[in-house]
Structure 1
């Protein structure tokens, strides 16, 4: 994990925002943050929008999963990533706080995870990478991709 992302985590951890009526999903992330994350990690901005539309996460909130993990912020970053992102340089709790309360940091990590998945399977398997963002378990992967397709249909039918 690059030092810039880690520095962002430390800054946010020091000044968390309140999440009481925070917008969800795409609306939770400032467009300039999404665009910058897409450029930084060289992933399609529209793919990030689809992930946010499906995940529907809220800044300031984490959701508990049945397997004991939790998903945080707009991109619903799973807690299995916290120690990977922290990489021994900061406590995973600092990363969790940053991912939970800073939507710009959250979308940067969302883009980073998507980039890792693209690198693992190649651009020719882009949609596999998008499904892997959520899960590599075939059942959950397939269900997630169906939700991504529905989100794409919904977003494409909205007036601009």
Structure 2
């Protein structure tokens, strides 16, 4: 047992050293990833299928805390799960806060971003009653875009969790 603790301690020290000696941007990214992981765990509330889903969406979107990416249509994708700014007014009404607050939270608050993703996905799932359609609708209602998105998220799930990603 003490050998195991020794190995774990050595690994943690090595990881800490690499973070300390990393460039500031890399250290921030690592800290942000840890926070996103914590938020995904909290938002899934012990439901493994939902945790995997949120990871699949996160891996596909590949955003970061603070992200604000302009789209061709003039909207923006915000934060780690790249929530489109189109959602800001609707979420604002839902949480009874200003659009400015919601925009800031989606962009800079990892947990708010993850919980908003959870809400969008579960709302779509309830509406369409089909897991993969809800994944596609998270991204777009345009058929060819959501079909491509579904395929990409499926690949991301297999890459992260292996073929067992789809087992019950």
> TM-score when scaled to structure 1?
0.76
User: CA shift at 1:27, angstroms?
Assistant: 2.7
Which digits, 9 at most, give the CA deviation of each residue in 1:16-52, with x for residues without a partner? Answer: xxx954438x936443321221229997110000000
Structure 1 equivalent of residue 45 of structure 2? 39
**Separation of aligned partners in 1, 2:131 and 2:152:** 16
**Separation of aligned partners in 2, 1:99 and 1:84:** 13
Bigger fraction of residues in helix: 2
**Separation of aligned partners in 1, 2:155 and 2:46:** 27
Partner of 1:23: helix, strand, or coil?
A: helix
**In the alignment, structure 1 residue 154 sits paired with structure 2 residue 159:** yes
8 Å Cα contact 1:118/1:129 also seen in 2: yes
**Quick one: higher RCO (CA 8 Å, sep 6+), 1 or 2?**
1
Structure 2 equivalent of residue 129 of structure 1? 134
CA RMSD, 1 decimal: 2.5
Match for 2:114 among 94, 107, 113? 107
Listed as ranges, the matches of 1:68-107 within 5 Å are 68-87=74-93, 89-107=96-114
User: CA shift at 1:156, angstroms?
Assistant: 2.7
Larger Rg: 2
Which consecutive unaligned segments of at least 5 residues does structure 2 have? Answer: 1-23, 163-168
Which consecutive unaligned segments of at least 5 residues does structure 1 have? Answer: 1-18
**Separation of aligned partners in 2, 1:78 and 1:28:** 23
Structure 2 equivalent of residue 140 of structure 1? 145
Which digits, 9 at most, give the CA deviation of each residue in 1:91-130, with x for residues without a partner? Answer: 21211111111111110111010110011011xx111101
